[in-house]
Amino acid sequence: MTFVITQSCCNDTSCVAACPVQCIRPRPGDPGFTTTEQLYIDPATCIDCGACAAECPVDAIVHETDLPARLEEFRGINADYFAEHPLGDTSPPLLVRRRLPREQPRLTVAVVGSGPAALYAAAELSEIRGVEVTVVERLSEPYGLVRFGVAPDHGRTRLMTERFAPVLRRPNVTCLFGVEAGRDVSVEDLLRHHHAVIWATGAFADRALEVPGEDLEGSVSARDFVAWYNGHPDFTDRRFDLSGRRAVVIGNGNVALDIARLLTQPATVYEHTPISPHALRALRASAVEEVVVVARRGPAQAAYGTAELLALAHLPEVDLLALPGETSTAGPGPDSADGSSLDLRRRLDAVRKAAARTPTRSRRITLRYSLAPAELTGDTAVTGVLLKRSDGTTEKIDTGLVVRAIGFRGLPAAGLPFDPVTGTVPDRAGRVVDPSTQTPLPGLYCTGWIRRGPSGTIGTNRTDAAETVASLLDDCAQGRLPTPAAPSAVLAAHFGKTSRGTVAGRPSQ
């Protein structure tokens, strides 16, 4: 008997440390760890102890006898991984116990943001005796991407908040919610009150399509749409026209699939999820039955996870379709599923099956490949999308709703360098650097999407944050951190903070 890692795996690797026989792969540092779509359990070595399942923050690990039909294929997905990647060394990973240097028994760190990258960093730092962390979050509630970016029907992934909540309650963690770094408090000010600042604000801006018609009514950014249906306070007043039968989603990542699922499934599916009430009302009245998901490149280069694609084929009331002529198209660029060629084969197989499927339902998601958006047509509002193939021929898909889901980018902040091309803060091993000299800027660090761009799963941020924290602690040990001019408590008091673990509001002016 064995346990099986399934669709909602977040790559957080909490399970790896728990496994007494070290049969979960890939581990941090293994080849392919940074690109793997999920972790896998070797069924030949697993001793069925259940320790990993207890540690998994998103309940992705299931005993094989409890696998529901929709997750059954993950039994083979786990086993097959080891056909290509033999288990090898099963010695346990080294446990690194961190402590502050004797000559600096106290360290204060401001962590800007409260999404997964920020809270993995806060968690790691606040475990160390003598470290005090101030979490600065512009919204009145924490969790960033986990709260406002994860699809409402991905309840297991949202469980991650339960893993992070105790971190925010630790006695050496101060929360300043409703405080925007860069507006209410400058980077300079944060550094005046802390030994170090970790910038972890994520990537909350859209990449542009850069085609005519992009600004027409009915052309919608995925960022706005996702924030709206997840109840982000900045987007509650938005309205989206769901009166047409067909919508087009441009993009080929997990966000594109989340939106396609949301728009095609019956609203009843979302009734007992944390979807915002205004979005649920709109879905109940929605006429959308078909979503066309358009990718510039071929299925081999898609950025979505294979597990997410496989899940689309199991939606009870939606047909997953593709066009036979487009499934064999490799498209330009390298394959994206480089974590495992099995992932790639499964993905191509799923697309071929979609192309062979005879539609039986009116609700459908159609995957289209190797089509470059050339124009969003219409006078004041979108009436269609003009797409161009590599041979120069074009095709127009009629629609009044186009969701642009081609990726996110970070936003610059006063007092921090910024690379406008990548939309990230330039860094070396998590140390913010001056881009012209590559010299680290004392006391400034970054982690998560603002550091590496919008890639990986939620758990990928754990490894990312660990590297940044390691650099910070190394600098602390080497005496490279600036000495703050004032205690962090002074800043907290300025923002109305009276005791640790409570939430501060904006200061009165």
C-beta separation of 355 from 310 below 8 A? no
From the CB of 14, what's the least distance to ligand SF4, in Å?
11
Q: Among 4, 39, 52, 283, which residue sits at the site for ligand SF4 (rule: CB under 6 A)?
A: 52
If the CB atoms of residues 19 and 385 are measured against ligand SF4, the closer one turns out to be 19
Least CB distance to ligand SF4 at residue 27 (A): 12
Tell me if 406 contacts ligand SF4 by CB under 6 A: no
Closer to ligand SF4 by CB, 20 or 325: give it. Answer: 20
For residues 22 and 366, which CB has a smaller minimum distance to ligand SF4 in the complex? 22
CA distance 136 to 193: 13
Q: Which residues contact 358 (CB under 8 A, 6 or more apart)?
A: none
Minimum CB separation of residue 79 from ligand SF4 in Å reads 13
Residue among 41 and 405 whose Cβ is closer to ligand SF4: 41
Interatomic CA distance for residues 69 and 386, integer angstroms? 40
Of 339-378, binders to ligand SF4 (CB under 6 A) are none
The correct pick among 31, 50, 105, 130 for binding ligand SF4 (CB under 6 A) is 50
Per CB under 6 A, 82 contacts ligand SF4? no
Closer residue to ligand SF4, CB minimum distance, 24 or 146: 24
Smallest separation, CB 69 to ligand SF4 (Å):
22
442 Cα distance to chain centroid = 29
User: Starting at the edge strand that comes first in sequence, how are the strands of the sheet with 219-221 ordered?
Assistant: 219-221, 402-404, 246-250, 290-294, 364-368, 319-322
Q: Name the residue nearer to ligand SF4 (CB basis): 61 or 135.
A: 61
- Rounded to an integer, what distance in angstroms lies between the CA atom of residue 484 and that of residue 118? 21
Instruction: Single out the residue of 49, 287, 414, 490 in contact with ligand SF4 (rule: CB under 6 A).
Output: 49
58 forms part of the interface with ligand SF4 (CB under 6 A): no
Cα separation of 64 and 1, whole Å?
7
Member of 39, 41, 294, 312 binding ligand SF4 (CB under 6 A): 41
Helix, strand or coil, per DSSP, at residue 358:
coil
Measured between alpha carbons, how far is 78 from 42 in angstroms, rounded to an integer? 7
In the chain, how many H helices and how many E strands? 16, 22
Give 48 or 84: the residue with its C-beta nearer to ligand SF4. 48
Of residues 64 and 289, the one with the C-beta less far from ligand SF4: 64
| Chain center to CA of 159 | 14
Going from the C-alpha of 258 to that of each of 273, 311, 364, 420, the distances in angstroms are 14, 11, 14, 28
Residue 77 CA from chain centroid, whole number: 22
In angstroms, the CA 154 to CA 386 distance is: 32
The mark string for 122-161 relative to ligand SF4 (x by CB under 6 A, - otherwise) is ----------------------------------------
In the bound complex, what is the minimum distance in angstroms from residue 77's beta carbon to ligand SF4? 15
Altogether, the residues listed in the chain come to a count of 509
CB of 46 to ligand SF4, least distance (A): 3
CA–CA dist 492, 132 (Å, integer): 12
Residue 449 sits in the site that holds ligand SF4 (CB under 6 A): no
Task: Identify which of residues 19 and 416 has a Cβ nearer to ligand SF4 in the complex.
Answer: 19
93 in contact with ligand SF4 (CB under 6 A):
no
Nearer to ligand SF4 by C-beta: 19 or 119? 19
Backbone phi and psi for residue 317, each to the nearest 5 degrees, phi listed first: -120, 15
Residues 6+ apart with CB under 8 A from 40: 5, 24, 25, 77, 78, 81, 82
Q: Find where tokens 């339960």 sit.
A: 162
Residue from 47, 165, 287, 356 touching ligand SF4 (CB under 6 A): that is 47
CB nearer to ligand SF4: give 48 or 317: 48
With contacts defined by CB under 6 A, how many residues of the chain interact with ligand SF4?
A: 14
Residue 369 · residue 331 · CB < 8 Å: yes
The answer to whether residues 344 and 330 touch, using CB atoms and an 8 Å cutoff, is: no
Q: Contact region for ligand SF4 (CB under 6 A) — 50-58, 130-138, 172-180, 249-257?
A: 50-58
Minimal distance in Å, beta carbon 307 to ligand SF4? 18
**63 or 129, CB closer to ligand SF4?**
63
The beta strands (E) that lie in 353-502 are given as 364-368, 372-377, 384-388, 394-398, 402-404, 408-409, 427-428, 431-433, 440-446
Asked if 269 and 261 touch (Cβ cutoff 8 Å), the reply is no
**Site map 7..36 versus ligand SF4, x via CB under 6 A:** -----------xx-x-xx------------
The angle that helices 277-284 and 222-229 make with each other, rounded to 10 degrees, is 100
Report CA 354 to chain centroid distance, whole Å.
26
Give min distance, CB of 431 to ligand SF4, in A: 35
Among 4, 10, 39, 46, binds ligand SF4 (CB under 6 A): 46
Q: Least Å distance between CB 53 and ligand SF4?
A: 6
Site residues (vs ligand SF4, CB under 6 A): 3, 18-19, 21, 23-24, 41, 46-52
